[in-house]
Amino acid sequence: MNLPAELHFISENIKRLRINEFLLSELRRSGYGGMEIQRTPLGTRIAIYAERPGMVIGGRGKQIKRLTKVLEEEFKIENPQLEVREVEVPELNAMIMAQRIASALERGMHFRRVSYTALKRIMDAGAKGAEIIISGKISGERARYEKFREGHIRKCGEAAENFVLEADVQANLKPGIVGVVVRIMPPYAVFPDEIKLKEQEQKVAQITPVSKPEEAQVEAVAESEKSGDTKEG
């Protein structure tokens, strides 16, 4: 039975979300940094980004084979082909930084110290802006949220949709579950209001204005009269 277009896209997005949650739970110690799914004529290619790719592959490829089997049997993915890619700059990956903050909170570190430290590392890596939101029972019995921000972060528009990197991770604390949201504006982001001037390769030569023929004749007569006056004198 073929589903309508709207239901088809909704079901695909739900499946993608479930796969992302599964990989996050399985590869949290490996520094899981997100995934990309692409359908090909030969099957489904899944690119896994990780801070430590060796832990994702496992000894003799056991870990990657187990993940492939689970994705094929439980998530009904046709012929999954897993590819592991290393994250070159973990500080510019929102998923990795959110996991680091959540792990630090679970170890008992204070949320303000953890947030400011992560914010500094993100900005030192070259980000144009960053925002960290921690919500839940972070201090006391009443749930609330704290927001830490530095630099420039777009909230709407084309720049926000195309460039802002966002991740949402949960930390299991004794008072309850605490949510961690990280948003990063990467250094390659381009804002629509930015103006770039092209550098001129050669300097423009200054050209003196050419006088009109009539003006040239008048100037010549004036000079001749001046010269005649000086001679008579």
Q: What is the number of domains present in the chain?
A: 2
Q: Are residues 83 and 96 in the same domain?
A: no
Q: Are residues 68 and 141 in the same domain?
A: no
Residue 177 lies in a domain: yes
Alpha helices in the chain (DSSP H): 5-26, 53-57, 62-73, 94-106, 111-124, 158-163, 213-232
Q: Are residues 135 and 175 in the same domain?
A: yes
Last residue of a domain, which of 165, 185, 205?
185
Q: Are residues 99 and 73 in the same domain?
A: no
Q: Are residues 120 and 78 in the same domain?
A: no
* CATH number reported for the structural domain that contains residue 66 in this entry: 3.30.300.20
Q: Are residues 72 and 108 in the same domain?
A: no
Residue span of the structural domain in which 17 resides: 5-87
Q: Looking at residue 151, what is its pLDDT?
A: 94
Q: Looking at residue 145, what is its pLDDT?
A: 94
Q: Are residues 177 and 102 in the same domain?
A: yes
d(CA 88, CA 104): 22
Average pLDDT per consecutive 10 residues, the chain (233 residues; last block may be shorter): 76 91 92 93 93 93 94 91 94 96 95 96 96 93 93 89 94 93 94 72 51 53 56 48
* CATH number reported for the structural domain that contains residue 156 in this entry: 3.30.1140.32
The most distant pair of C-alpha atoms in the chain lies apart, rounded to whole Å, by 115
